[in-house]
Structure 1
Amino acid sequence: MASNLYSIGLSGLQSSTARIATTGQNTSNVDTEGYSRQSTSTASVSGGGVRIQDTARVVNQYVNQQVWTDTSSYSYFQSYHLMMSNADSMIGEDSVAISTYINQAFDALQTANSDPSDSSYRSVALTKLDSLANQYNELSNFLRDQKQQANSEINDKVGVINNYTSQIADLNGKIQAQEALKGTTANELRDQQEQLVKDLSEFLDVKVAYDDNNLMTLKLAAGQPLVLQDRANSLSLVGGNSDPQQLDIMLDFGKYSVGVSSQDIGGSLGGLISYRDEFATSAQRMLGQQAWALADNLNEQNRLGLDGDGKFGAALFSVGKIAVAVADRNSDANTSIDVRLSDGGSKDVSTNDYEVIMNSPTSFTVRTLDSNGKLLSESALIDTTTATPNANGYFAVAGFGVEVKLNSAGSYATGDTYEFAPTQDVARQLNMVATSGSALALASPIEVSASSSNLSDAKISISAITDTDIATSDFVATPRLAPTAPHSLRFTAADTYDVLDSSGNVLGTQTVTSYDNLLQAAGISSSGYDVSLDSAPQAGDTFSIAFNSNGSSDNYNGVRLAGIQNQSVVGGDMTLGNAYTSLVTEVGSLTATLKTNMDATQVVMNQSVSTRDQISAVSLDEEAVNLLRFQQSYSAAAQVISAARETFSTLLSVLR
């Protein structure tokens, strides 16, 4: 019996020693990040005594997963908000706002209209328009730099992520070696592994599970495996097909790689990708759409007037080439197409992705897609064997605002695809091509007058200037009106008139009840201009139309140039100023929303961490109580051994 008592006491000493050691380990690691409190469990032994079962970590994997998920959510909004704050401080700043430069440029145009003969006013107006173009350049370059900064950070974070996953996979190997081969628990290694997951969750959203060997399996939110046992699959970056700045994330499985959807990333990496893809890219395209609306409408209107030298107006601005990407699946990577924006087509150009798809080697259609690749619209089929290209070989795509030129005749295959974003770089490449204020075509190309011998007080006015192209209008290169152009109106009755050329030949006769657009009413629609009367004339009244050879003081076209400021030229429904204000509002609203989400997810994350700490963190008060309890248990076990020894000595004495 003394022997049994001795064994019981000895097992008690061992149990207490183990628990004291565990308490010491907990106390020593009270400030160790990621450390999980340990607890030594015991079981009673048949016949008396206690057996140490194991020393395990006190953890709740569901709570841990919640911590990692909440950390990822907070990091996502924090990263996104930081980038958006930079954009908000730039785009929302009044001193650099496009709307400020728009007002200055059009105010200068109005001043030039007050005295078109003053070259200094013209020069100031052109300088202000050039400053407006430069500001579009500056803001677009800022967004481009922001995307580059995001890409640099994305590249850095991908390197850190791969380092973390490699360490986690390596720890799986070490844990298996220690627990399976040596038969001892790997508590500290598992703590290190979970701390790595916690650090990793700041970069992306991960899901953790354990296999049959209780080894950690790590997956992306969408289910792609990052870590399987002791093997880690690394992330990599590849340039986007239609935009080299749009680095796509790939998951490398060794023999092959698969793309990872940006919506499944999460964490600070996901925040950077969302900023780059959802905001910066969209903002660049919105600015490009606005810049092209400015350039296209001013160019088109300027072509309808006479400049300071009495010549037909020319384009004031130019934009660079549209970058076109060849789809990887195309039959021949060396085939190409050229795409440019259509003059006068800015109202039709969207900020969406575009595709040219070959329906046959000689025909194609143009499609627009949203950011998720969903089809939005598709053009009519353009057959290059029957359609007529313009002088430069481009085919106009009605309703899409672009023109397409095929460069590889006979080499295309059905299904070949070419991708581009027409407004992506317009704001960055917007350039003033006019070199002096005289390039502003403020004057009308025609002048009209009523004969002094007219019997009525009816006055004639220009109702429209629609075309000054010498190939399609009644203007000639000299410049002047063609002799066969409408030069005068002669009323044979109050409601009947003849349209006459310069030689008095009748070009058309018409009876009307309205005196608006009289040339069109007479069936003359290709002259490039039209006129109206403000009241009914009398029989015998004549009205002349002549080339405006002395229009230095005329501002007919200048007024229309200045009026573009108040026209809905962006997307067909917004003015230039409203379009930029809309962008500023969107930036401010998104920044505020991200700040709200960041604050909310931080509260949730802190609550999750607090819950985890209540379960797994070391409490010095609790450990102090445990240490006292286990010390007393140790002393009691020692007393049992002492009692056993005395009992055994007594028995020996009796036997003697």
Structure 2
Amino acid sequence: MISNLFNIGSKAVNNAQVSINTTSNNIANAETTGYQRADAVYDSTGNINVGGNSLGTGADIIAIQANWDSFIEDQYLAASADLAASKASSSYLSQMDSILNQSADDGLGTTQDAFLTSWAELSMYPNSSSEREALLGEAESLVYSLNSTSAELKKMQYTIEDEISEQVASANEYIDGIALLNEQISASPDNYELVASRDQMIRELDEIIGISEVVPSDGQVKIYTESGMPLVEGAETHNLVYTSARSTESLMPESTYTGDVNFSGSSSEELLLEFTSSGPDGSAKFKVSFDGGKTWAEDENGNTLIYTAGDVDNSVNIEGVDVYFSGGTTDHTEGDRYTIVPKSGLYWQGNDSSLINCTPMTDASGKDVSNRSTGGSLSGLLKVRDDELLPVMSNIDDMAAALIWEVNAVHSQGAGLTSHLALEGTYSFDDQAATLSNSGLTYADNIESGEFSIYTYDADGTVLSNASISINPSTDSLDDVVNAINTAFPGTLTASVDSEGFLKLQSATDVSFELADDSSGFLAAAGINTFFEGSDASDIGVNSYIQGDPSHVNCGEVGTDGLVSSGSNDTAKSINELMTKAITIGNETSSQVASLSEYLSGVVSGVGAAAATAETQIICDSSAAQLYYDQQASVSGVNVDEEMINLTRQQQQYEAACQIISVSRDMFDTILGMM
């Protein structure tokens, strides 16, 4: 019995030492991020029978156990991932709002209004050179504003994509690190500090890409993306990949099509093509979805848009992406699908190196598509790029393209202070023998059946001749237009095409010319007698021909007598009317009818509203994340005051255990003394 008492005391001393060590370690790591408060777990060592009595044998410490609530942690991970996504989005939305701030003197809204207003001022003084100089100054300010806005937004895109690349690399390091810790924990399952390190690493990964975790009975944690793709299963890993634009196909079982889908250009949208009829390239039809097949693109009347599969010469443009097929010697089958991702994206990589897209996607109602990533900073970065930045960049480009076209369409048929001796187009034709609609001209789709007039003058300004040149974009080529001009003005005006595909008009000696009454849009599309050059916000510029000679800023127009009245101001007035005139801006799947000012105001206010919403979302997400963080901290965090109390109690436990040993030794000595 005395020996049992001694054993109880010995074990109690050891247990107290372990408990004191554990508590001391808790205190030492009170400020260590991710540290989980540990407790010594005691278990009775059972009883022995002595003289018919059941006597206890003390207790052993069977484990050092960290305090952790998995249920709370699951809720924290979800909230933390949402917060990380909100923060990533909000940061860039605030920057976008600053870039588009219209209150600035050099902001887009201010410079655009000043430019259009300057045409009204020119209309009041149509013969003024100083007004033309002032107008060119306003034009240069607008061009600079558009160019710089485009450049800043493009730089932001590159910054976001660089950050995405870095975060994917970090996520993969965490994935590999968690798998390594799984192996180490498997070899040392009672090492609670390894478990705590793994839990902290899981939190770090969750902030990058929202995850869910499963902890089987063997303690080998399994990590999945929100859409259920495994990232860590024991020691096995699946990495994330951030890669460039790509396409995939999903053909019907009976399909025999052997060709490939091809595309050029970029877009914030993913394009899902589904064939609605069978047949070869040139006749088979397909529809397009931007949300993975939940809805299908429609025209302004609500009818599903149907496209014809064509080769490279008959490509179709969808959201800025030219789509065509090549190499097909057999028919498409109804139901065949092709997915085009015309942007860099986030993918999960399988063991066979196959890639599954987990880039965030929203449907037509703005809701997240369920099989994609939604939480974590990666999701926030990709969402702000695809749902905010790229659409805004596209909107600014669409507005610039509309501004260029509308101003040029008026200016190209107007007249300035002096007639022309020579003109060169600013837009090149890829194929001068092809029909105008298939010539590769930037604004080819804007050319309509119609005509334009040319007037020639002698050295005294007397009309020599005039002719109307008919245009049919479906049947006429640039060569046809050149021949028609040369036939109409033999010896006085020569039309030609240079080696780069630009149309040139050259008058004979002592002959000048004017252009007028273009109902076809050909002159503006070719860049003849235009004010602007370029096609979007990044490359818009003032025509160098006008910059070199401001007298060619057109204010008036050719009258019915073939002459330009000194007080003519119809061209300037028409361009000024663009301040309030409703025009179509955008493409067939996302166009809007509005004035330039209204359109820009809508874009800017949309970004401002999104930035404000993101800030509010951060507040909500922060509250939720903090709530679960605090709940977990109350379970796993170290309270130094409590640990000091525990330390005092354990010190007393140690002293009592020593007393047990001392008593048992005294009892043993007494017995020895009786012998």
* TM score, norm. by length of structure 1: 0.66
What is the DSSP-based 3-state SS (H/G/I as helix, E as strand, rest coil) of the residue aligned with 1:215?
coil
Matched, 1:95 2:105: yes
How many pairs were matched up? 469
Q: Decide which moves more: 240-249 or 206-215.
A: 240-249
Please name the residue that 1:158 is paired with: 168
Tell me by how many angstroms 1:33 deviates: 1.3
Change (3 A) 1:393 1:253: farther
2:126–2:555: 8 Å Cα contact kept in structure 1?
yes
Tell me whether 1:429 sits opposite 2:550 in the alignment.
no
* 2:640 pairs with one of 613, 620, 638: 620
Q: How does 1:93-132 map to 2 (within 5 A)?
A: 93-132=103-142
Which position in structure 2 is the counterpart of 1:495? none
Note the alpha carbon deviations across 1:590-641, whole angstroms, 9 max, x for none: 1111111112222222222211111001111111111121222222222222
2:537 counterpart SS class: helix
Query: Partner residue of 2:400?
Result: 291
CA contact (8 A) 1:319 1:429 kept: no
Aligned to 1:75: 84
Distance 1:576 1:217 in 2: 54
CA, structure 1 residues 60+315, in 2 after alignment: closer, same or farther (shift >3 Å)? Answer: farther
Q: Distance in 2 between matches of 1:69 and 1:591?
A: 22
Structure 2 letter corresponding to 1:50: A
Partner of 2:416: 307
| Residues 35/339 of structure 1: CA separation in 2 closer, same or farther (3 Å cut) | farther
Q: Which residue of 2 aligns with 1:391?
A: 477
Once the two structures are superposed, residues 312-355 of structure 1 have per-residue CA deviations (whole angstroms, 9 ceiling, x without a partner) of: 9999986999xxxxxxxxxxxxxx99574346489xxxxxxxxx
Distance in 2 of aligned mates of 1:549 and 1:17: 109
1:400-439: per-residue Cα shift (whole Å, max 9, x none)?
A: xxxxxxxxxxxxxxxxxxxxxxxx9722122322423333
2:39–2:66 contact (8 Å) kept in structure 1: yes
Secondary structure of 1:307's aligned partner: coil
3-state DSSP of counterpart to 2:567: coil
Aligned to 2:658: 638
Partner of 2:668: 648
Report % sequence identity: 21
Q: Partners of 1:280 and 1:315 in 2: how far apart?
A: 36
The AA in structure 2 aligned to 1:250 is Y
8 A Cα contact 1:70 1:605, kept in partner:
yes
The residue type equivalent to 1:109 in the other structure is W
Q: Is the 8 A contact 2:400 2:535 kept in 1?
A: no
The 3 A distance-change label for structure 1 pair 320 and 295 is: farther
| SS of residue paired to 1:236 | strand
Q: Distance in 2 between matches of 1:316 and 1:109?
A: 23
Counterpart CA distance in 2 for 1:390 and 1:195 is: 69
Q: Distance in 2 between matches of 1:554 and 1:313?
A: 22
User: Aligned pair 1:576/2:596, yes or no?
Assistant: yes
Partner of 2:181: 171
The answer for the alignment partner of 2:245 in structure 1 is 240
Check 1:615–1:316 CA distance in 2 against 1; reply closer, same or farther (3 A cut).
Answer: farther
The 1:550–1:249 alpha-carbon spacing in structure 2 relative to 1, beyond 3 Å, is closer
Taking the aligned partners of 1:598 and 1:85, their CA distance within structure 2 comes to 13
What SS class does the counterpart of residue 444 from structure 1 fall into? Answer: coil
Asked if residue 259 in structure 1 is aligned to residue 357 in structure 2, the reply is: yes
Structure 1 residue matching 2:188: 3-state secondary structure: helix
Q: CA offset at residue 216 of structure 1? A: 1.4
- Give the Å deviation of 1:554: 1.1
Unaligned 5+ runs, structure 2: 48-55, 247-264, 268-341, 362-372, 431-437, 449-472, 481-533, 586-591
How far the C-alpha of 1:172 sits from its partner, in A, is: 1.0
- Superposition pairs of residues 138-153 of structure 1, within 5 angstroms: 138-153=148-163
- What's the CA shift string for 1:99-143, capped at 9, x where partnerless? 211222122211221122223323332342343233222211111
Whole-angstrom distance in 2 between the partners of 1:206 and 1:393: 61
Larger-Rg structure: 1
Which whole-Å CA distance do the structure 2 matches of 1:339 and 1:615 have between them? 68
Match of 1:379 in 2: none
Q: Which amino acid aligns with 2:633?
A: D
1:429-482 deviation line (CA, Å, top 9, x unaligned): 223224233333332333xxxxxxxxxxxxxxxxxxxxxxxxxxxxxxxxxxxx
Shift of 1:151: 0.8
Pairing partner for 1:554 from 568, 573, 576: 568
In 2, distance between residues paired with 1:270 and 1:320? 42
CA distance in 1: counterparts of 2:670 and 2:561, whole angstroms = 140
Alignment correspondent of 1:50: 59
Unaligned runs of 5+ residues in structure 1 are: 180-184, 322-335, 347-386, 395-423, 447-545
Distance 1:623 1:163 in 2: 35
User: Which structure 2 residues correspond to residues 321-400 of structure 1 after superposition, within 5 A?
Assistant: 338=440, 340-342=442-444, 344=446, 388-391=474-477
1:274 corresponds to which of 383, 400, 403: 383
Residue 607 of structure 1 corresponds to 627
Q: Contact conserved, 2:558 with 2:564, CA < 8 A, in 1?
A: no
Kindly report the root-mean-square deviation, in angstroms, between the aligned alpha carbons of the 2 structures.
3.0
- 1:46-82 Cα deviation digits (max 9, x unpaired): 2212122211111101222222222222221112111
Displacement, 1:290? Answer: 0.9
Counterpart AA for 2:400: A
Superposition pairs of residues 395-434 of structure 1, within 5 angstroms: 426-433=536-543, 434=545
Q: TM-score, normalised by structure 2?
A: 0.65
Task: Give the partner amino acid of 2:222.
Answer: T
Q: 1:15 corresponds to which letter in structure 2?
A: N
Listed one character per residue, the Cα deviations across residues 254-313 of structure 1 (whole Å, up to 9, x for unaligned) are 422222222515222222212211111011111111111111111112233333334699
